Amino acid sequence: MDKDNPKVPNARGLQVVAAAILGATAVYAVVGTALVRMKILTAEPIIPADRVSGLGLTLILIGVFAAAASFLVRRVIAPVILAQDQSVISRFRVTIISMAVAESAGVIGLVYAILSQKLDVPFILWGISLAASIGHFPTRTWLEGGSGT
Protein backbone atom coordinates (compact mmCIF):
# COMPACT_ATOMS: atom_id res chain seq x y z
CA MET A 1 0.00 0.00 0.00
CA ASP A 2 1.22 3.48 -0.86
CA LYS A 3 1.99 5.57 2.25
CA ASP A 4 1.10 8.81 0.49
CA ASN A 5 -2.30 7.54 -0.67
CA PRO A 6 -3.77 5.31 2.05
CA LYS A 7 -6.94 3.46 1.18
CA VAL A 8 -10.00 5.27 2.53
CA PRO A 9 -12.70 2.90 3.80
CA ASN A 10 -16.13 3.16 2.27
CA ALA A 11 -19.35 3.88 4.14
CA ARG A 12 -20.50 0.24 4.11
CA GLY A 13 -17.28 -0.93 5.77
CA LEU A 14 -17.60 1.70 8.46
CA GLN A 15 -21.21 0.66 9.07
CA VAL A 16 -19.97 -2.87 9.68
CA VAL A 17 -17.56 -1.52 12.30
CA ALA A 18 -20.40 0.49 13.88
CA ALA A 19 -22.53 -2.68 13.96
CA ALA A 20 -19.73 -4.44 15.80
CA ILE A 21 -19.62 -1.64 18.35
CA LEU A 22 -23.40 -1.92 18.66
CA GLY A 23 -23.04 -5.67 19.15
CA ALA A 24 -20.78 -5.16 22.15
CA THR A 25 -23.83 -4.36 24.26
CA ALA A 26 -25.39 -7.65 23.16
CA VAL A 27 -22.19 -9.42 24.23
CA TYR A 28 -22.42 -7.76 27.65
CA ALA A 29 -26.01 -8.98 27.96
CA VAL A 30 -25.17 -12.55 26.95
CA VAL A 31 -22.13 -12.75 29.22
CA GLY A 32 -23.93 -11.18 32.18
CA THR A 33 -26.97 -13.41 31.76
CA ALA A 34 -24.83 -16.53 31.40
CA LEU A 35 -22.78 -15.70 34.48
CA VAL A 36 -25.86 -15.17 36.62
CA ARG A 37 -28.12 -17.92 35.24
CA MET A 38 -25.41 -20.60 35.14
CA LYS A 39 -24.30 -19.63 38.65
CA ILE A 40 -20.68 -19.29 37.53
CA LEU A 41 -20.11 -16.48 40.02
CA THR A 42 -19.36 -16.86 43.72
CA ALA A 43 -22.00 -18.28 46.02
CA GLU A 44 -22.73 -14.94 47.67
CA PRO A 45 -23.31 -11.67 45.81
CA ILE A 46 -20.64 -9.07 46.45
CA ILE A 47 -23.24 -6.33 46.97
CA PRO A 48 -25.31 -6.88 50.15
CA ALA A 49 -29.02 -7.48 49.54
CA ASP A 50 -30.04 -4.35 51.50
CA ARG A 51 -28.04 -2.12 49.12
CA VAL A 52 -29.05 -3.69 45.82
CA SER A 53 -32.19 -1.62 45.16
CA GLY A 54 -30.65 1.75 46.01
CA LEU A 55 -27.54 1.04 43.96
CA GLY A 56 -29.67 -0.29 41.09
CA LEU A 57 -31.73 2.90 40.93
CA THR A 58 -28.59 5.01 41.07
CA LEU A 59 -27.02 3.04 38.22
CA ILE A 60 -30.16 3.31 36.09
CA LEU A 61 -29.99 7.08 36.52
CA ILE A 62 -26.31 7.04 35.59
CA GLY A 63 -27.14 4.94 32.52
CA VAL A 64 -29.82 7.41 31.42
CA PHE A 65 -27.35 10.24 31.99
CA ALA A 66 -24.67 8.44 29.95
CA ALA A 67 -27.10 7.88 27.07
CA ALA A 68 -28.19 11.52 27.11
CA ALA A 69 -24.58 12.67 27.44
CA SER A 70 -23.64 10.68 24.34
CA PHE A 71 -25.97 12.85 22.26
CA LEU A 72 -24.63 15.99 23.90
CA VAL A 73 -21.05 14.86 23.23
CA ARG A 74 -21.97 14.29 19.59
CA ARG A 75 -23.48 17.77 19.27
CA VAL A 76 -20.36 19.32 20.78
CA ILE A 77 -17.64 17.35 18.98
CA ALA A 78 -19.23 17.04 15.54
CA PRO A 79 -18.86 20.72 14.61
CA VAL A 80 -15.29 20.80 15.94
CA ILE A 81 -14.11 17.66 14.14
CA LEU A 82 -16.04 18.31 10.94
CA ALA A 83 -14.89 21.94 10.74
CA GLN A 84 -11.37 20.66 10.16
CA ASP A 85 -12.22 17.84 7.78
CA GLN A 86 -15.48 16.61 6.20
CA SER A 87 -14.06 13.19 5.25
CA VAL A 88 -15.74 9.89 5.95
CA ILE A 89 -13.03 9.13 8.53
CA SER A 90 -13.77 12.32 10.46
CA ARG A 91 -17.47 11.55 10.42
CA PHE A 92 -16.74 8.08 11.69
CA ARG A 93 -14.63 9.49 14.54
CA VAL A 94 -17.70 11.38 15.70
CA THR A 95 -19.70 8.15 15.54
CA ILE A 96 -17.15 6.07 17.45
CA ILE A 97 -16.82 8.60 20.26
CA SER A 98 -20.59 8.99 20.60
CA MET A 99 -21.23 5.24 20.54
CA ALA A 100 -18.50 4.65 23.14
CA VAL A 101 -20.16 7.06 25.55
CA ALA A 102 -23.55 5.43 24.90
CA GLU A 103 -22.05 1.98 25.44
CA SER A 104 -20.89 2.87 28.95
CA ALA A 105 -24.37 2.09 30.31
CA GLY A 106 -23.97 -1.46 29.00
CA VAL A 107 -20.63 -1.87 30.75
CA ILE A 108 -22.20 -0.65 33.98
CA GLY A 109 -24.95 -3.25 33.51
CA LEU A 110 -22.40 -6.05 33.17
CA VAL A 111 -20.51 -4.95 36.27
CA TYR A 112 -23.76 -4.71 38.26
CA ALA A 113 -24.79 -8.21 37.12
CA ILE A 114 -21.46 -9.59 38.31
CA LEU A 115 -21.58 -7.78 41.65
CA SER A 116 -25.26 -8.33 42.53
CA GLN A 117 -26.02 -11.56 40.65
CA LYS A 118 -29.34 -10.00 39.60
CA LEU A 119 -30.49 -9.19 36.08
CA ASP A 120 -33.36 -6.72 36.47
CA VAL A 121 -31.24 -3.55 36.51
CA PRO A 122 -28.68 -4.82 33.98
CA PHE A 123 -31.39 -5.49 31.39
CA ILE A 124 -32.60 -1.92 31.78
CA LEU A 125 -29.05 -0.60 31.42
CA TRP A 126 -28.38 -2.81 28.39
CA GLY A 127 -31.60 -1.56 26.81
CA ILE A 128 -30.65 2.06 27.44
CA SER A 129 -27.20 1.45 25.96
CA LEU A 130 -28.59 -0.34 22.93
CA ALA A 131 -31.18 2.37 22.24
CA ALA A 132 -28.62 5.17 22.47
CA SER A 133 -26.14 3.28 20.28
CA ILE A 134 -28.81 2.69 17.65
CA GLY A 135 -29.48 6.43 17.75
CA HIS A 136 -25.83 7.02 16.82
CA PHE A 137 -25.65 4.40 14.08
CA PRO A 138 -24.32 6.17 10.98
CA THR A 139 -26.34 6.25 7.79
CA ARG A 140 -24.54 5.93 4.50
CA THR A 141 -25.80 9.39 3.51
CA TRP A 142 -24.30 11.01 6.61
CA LEU A 143 -20.99 9.21 6.27
CA GLU A 144 -20.70 10.32 2.65
CA GLY A 145 -21.23 13.96 3.61
CA GLY A 146 -24.98 14.42 3.58
CA SER A 147 -27.29 15.40 6.41
CA GLY A 148 -28.84 12.97 8.86
CA THR A 149 -27.39 10.80 11.58
**pLDDT band with cut points at 50, 70 and 90 for residue 142:** confident
pLDDT tens-digit series, residues 93-105: 999 999 999 999 9
pLDDT digits (tens, 9 = 90+) for 67-88: 999 999 999 999 999 998 888 8
- Helices (DSSP H) in the chain: which residue ranges? 11-37, 49-84, 88-116, 120-136, 140-143
Query: So what's the pLDDT on residue 51?
Result: 77
